[in-house]
Structure 1
Amino acid sequence: MDKKEILEILLDWNFWKKDQYTGTRREGLLDTIERKAQAKEIMVITGARRTGKSTIILQYLEEKINKGTAKEDILIINFEDPRFRGLDLELLNRIYEIYETEIKKGSEEQYVVLDEVHVIEGWEKFARYLHENRRINVFITGSSSRLLSSEYSTVLAGRHIDTEVYPLSFKEYLEFKGIHIESELDLISERHRIQNMLKEYIDTGGFPKVALEEDERNKKELLYTYFRDILIKDVTMRYGIRDIAKLEELAKYYLTNISSPNSYNRIKNVLKTSLDTVERYSSYIEGTYMLFFIKKYSYSLKEQILNPRKVYCIDTGLRNTVSFTFSEDYGRLVENVVFMQLRRKYRDIYYWKNEKQKEVDFLVNEKNRIVQAVQVCWNISSEKTRKREIEGLMSAMETFELDEGLILTEDAEEEIMLESKKITVIPVWKWLIVDGE
């Protein structure tokens, strides 16, 4: 590629000669990135496609420009621009050299953004060079949870700090819709509106562009496009998958069975394919952030491996667009929303069942200690259901020596004291807002 072609592409993605669209601000996420950026390490931002990784960086850089950083001291390279040909490390170096000679001013504070950089083999060496030799603030984005695989981590060891970007939390979703909850009074006064918004959130999800779209048909079309893009660009093209139909069939199977235990052997029989195919394809899809798998908690690693894993989707709207939905699915969709809220804060999450078949939906593990037990039960009005949920939670609290437990419901709210242990029952909508602070 010649210099003119490269500059034409870069001009479209940078602030140098025009304003860039920076979308609706996500203040909490911006604060997180600003805080982590103080460490002066390579910032690695990962997340599923269309969750807003590039937009949040643009918002961050726009703030820097407003505070005095020269536009020419910011370089943004979007490696998914189809006009780039023959992407490799040599071209990456050439792009940077052209930027240095033609654009850069050379101020003390400089920023380089390598957007969807995983398409270039050896990118980590280039990022480290900029960071260590040039003292440049480097931002990396990618739509794969494996962006920092072992070989990358060897080069970047101790030189990177990571942030995962998800679709909007429910609190962010409300803010996108103009509902700002600042106090207990706001919760009370907006109660019914919030409950209606939760149903909408569960139905169409929290991808930023979808949340801002008014037309229902457009929402569904966007979500189906996201589903296809993830499978095609992040799985099929990356791993050279030939049987695209089987890959899509597996993804839709998982999406239909969210919040349920699934075993590879059972799926192999249902889809009539090999165990190896199910395992590999499942791993590939998981790497895109579309799906999350959690294990049954056990002190035995062997038991964790042998037991079925529960599957959750990154976004219930995405799931509803490509899977049949029945009225009885609503509780499972709510459970999925709760999982994603926990996932935003914690990495080590399990489900639990003891030998007496007492169950808990979620256990949160921190530093090899269970610190939280959570049940999700949309309707707890039935005495049988109430007894089951409380007994399961109490069993886990006793097993893991927890003084408190949590039951999330549609609208019930109370505190239950049993044997000096406290169970808090709280509506899901309220917990999502309070926990999202």
Structure 2
Amino acid sequence: MRNGIGSRNGMGIENRYALSLFMKAAVSSFAKNFSVNKVFNTLKSIGVSVSRKTLYNFQKILEDVGLVFFLRKYDKSVRKVEMTLPKVYLVDNGIYRFMEGKKDYERLLEGLVFQEFVKSELEPNREVFYWEKGGEVDFVIKKDDKVKQLIQVTYASSRGEIEEREIESLIKAGRELKCDDLLIVTWDYEEQFEVSRWRARFLPLWKWALGLIPV
């Protein structure tokens, strides 16, 4: 860490142990909600003295060097977006595999979808968000102040492997955000379906990625 994040940002970070714990907490929250306050309380409970301000600085460092992305919840108000609890995504799934030693295929697939957005030059927290309101949609794609597409991600190879709550949340978000382009990215399952007059598509990751263009 001495010649890595700290020196690269010219901050001369002294509390490298706290930074390493913060990084681990962020990686552990891959594709999940992340709370700086929760990390602060955890570090305090194990005797690590560090301020909330320092932890927020750590968060900014990880974003600035492009290792970690903190994706915000969609809201029409920019101010409210900044106040939402972010979800964590990584520049490469290998970071999660290396640090956590896990093969959580659901999270890894979601991470791949997010990474494709970045490669396609969609800007997180300006064009890409998540949605949560009595249900969750993994990604909201916005263009010209309008929601263009809603995307769920699920590691599935058949219709029976897809939980109904995934579809229900997608339709609920479609109603609220007035968006009828509904997509579920799967591992290798493809189909079009209609529920309550709402049409949506299941599309395998590889086919979706091939057709992805900047929006």
TM-score exceeds 0.5:
yes
* 2: CA distance, partners of 1:268 / 1:425: 40
Cα offset for 1:369?
A: 1.1
Structure of larger gyration radius: 1
Cα offset for 1:333?
A: 1.4
Distance 1:433 1:301, change over 3 A: closer
Code of the residue aligned with 2:114 in structure 1: it is: F
Alignment partner, residue 111 of structure 2: 336
Distance 1:230 1:386, change over 3 A: same
Alignment partner, residue 100 of structure 2: 324
Alignment match of 2:24 (pick from 213, 228, 252): 252
In the alignment, does 2:200 pair up with 1:423? yes
Alignment match of 2:163 (pick from 375, 386, 410): 386
Cα offset for 1:330?
A: 1.9
The structure in which a higher percent of residues are helix is 1
Q: What stretches of structure 1 of length at least 5 have no aligned partner?
A: 1-226
Native 8 Å contact 1:380 1:386 kept in 2: no
Cα offset for 1:303?
A: 3.8
Report the TM-score when normalising by structure 1.
Answer: 0.44
* 2: CA distance, partners of 1:229 / 1:312: 24
Distance 1:289 1:248, change over 3 A: same
* 1: CA distance, partners of 2:43 / 2:106: 26
Cα deviation, 1:8-42, whole Å, max 9, x if unaligned, reads xxxxxxxxxxxxxxxxxxxxxxxxxxxxxxxxxxx
Cα deviation, 1:140-193, whole Å, max 9, x if unaligned, reads xxxxxxxxxxxxxxxxxxxxxxxxxxxxxxxxxxxxxxxxxxxxxxxxxxxxxx
Alignment partner, residue 263 of structure 1: 35
The structure in which a higher percent of residues are strand is 2
Cα offset for 1:395?
A: 1.2
Alignment partner, residue 181 of structure 1: none
In the alignment, does 2:130 pair up with 1:351? yes
Q: Secondary structure at the match of 1:362?
A: strand
* 1: CA distance, partners of 2:90 / 2:102: 17
Please say which of residues 359-368 and 410-419 is displaced more in the overlay.
Answer: 410-419
Native 8 Å contact 1:378 1:409 kept in 2: yes
Code of the residue aligned with 1:331 in structure 2: it is: E
Cα offset for 1:432?
A: 1.9
* 2: CA distance, partners of 1:299 / 1:253: 29
Alignment partner, residue 47 of structure 2: none
Cα offset for 1:256?
A: 2.1
* 2: CA distance, partners of 1:257 / 1:371: 27
Distance 1:380 1:263, change over 3 A: farther
Cα offset for 1:229?
A: 5.6
Native 8 Å contact 2:137 2:169 kept in 1: yes
In the alignment, does 2:8 pair up with 1:234? yes
Distance 1:349 1:229, change over 3 A: farther
Alignment partner, residue 407 of structure 1: 184
Distance 1:381 1:269, change over 3 A: farther
The number of residue pairs the alignment matches comes to 205
Code of the residue aligned with 1:263 in structure 2: it is: S
Distance 1:228 1:397, change over 3 A: farther
Report the TM-score when normalising by structure 2.
Answer: 0.85
Superposition pairs for residues 43-54 of structure 1, below 5 Å? none
In the alignment, does 2:20 pair up with 1:243? no
* 2: CA distance, partners of 1:399 / 1:436: 25
* 1: CA distance, partners of 2:2 / 2:100: 17
Cα offset for 1:296?
A: 0.9
Superposition pairs for residues 163-202 of structure 1, below 5 Å? none
